[in-house]
Structure 1
Amino acid sequence: MENIIYNELRSRGYSVDVGVVEKRGTDENGKEYKNQLEIDFVANLGSKRYYIQSAFSMPTEEKRIQEKASLVNVNDSFKKIIVVKDVVNVTRDEDGITTMSIYDFLLKENSLEL
C-alpha cells in the first residue's frame, strides 16, 4: 500500500520524503528518554506540505495510538493524514489528524484537502 501512495503522490507532482520526528519524555523512574518516530511520507508541493501515514488497518485503539504517535509530535500546522485500506468515512479527530480510505485518497483529485 505504501508503494501505491508514493506513486500517487509523485504522479500528482509532489516531492516525497520520509520524515523523522523526535519524541522526548520522562519514564516512570524519572529518567529522560528520546525516541525517533518515522513518518511514512512528507509530501511537498510549493508551499503545501502533508504528513501521511499508511496503515493497512486500525482495528484497535492501541493500533490507532501507534499510527498517530509520529503525527501528534510534529509541531507545525501542516495537514496530517492517515490512509487506511478499510472503507471508512473521512474523519478528523481531536488532534486534527484526518483518516481516509485508500479509495478516497486515490479516486478523489482533491483528497488531500478533504
Structure 2
Amino acid sequence: MMLNMSIMVMMTLILISLLMFMLTIYMKMKFNYNKSSPFECGFDPFNKARIPFSLNFYLIAIIFLIFDIEMSIILPMILNFKISNMMYFNSMFLTFFMFMIITIFYEWKFGSLNWKI
C-alpha cells in the first residue's frame, strides 16, 4: 500500500517536471517581441510601461492601514463594555483615542498627510 503511494507520488513529480521543462522549451521557441510588449496594436510605447508610483500615495496607504487596524481593536472593546469595569473601560478607551490623536498630529506635523505634486 505504502509502496504504491510512493510510486504514484514519484510518477506525479516526474510528470510535472517533464511538463514544466517542455513548457519552458516551448516558450523560448515561441518568443515574440511584439506580443511581449505592453501594447499589441503595433505601435512602440512612448514611455516605460512601469512608471514608478508616488511615494506619497504609498505613505497614505500605510497610514490608512494602521488606522484601520486600530479600528479593529476598538470594536471588541465596545462589545466588552457590558462585562468590564466602567473605570477600567474608560481609561483604556481614552488612552487608546489619545494615542490615535497624538499619532495623527505627529504625522500632520512632519508632512506625511500633505499630498505633494
TM-score, with length taken from structure 1: 0.19
Hey, which of these two has a bigger chunk of strand by percent?
Answer: 1
Larger Rg belongs to:
2
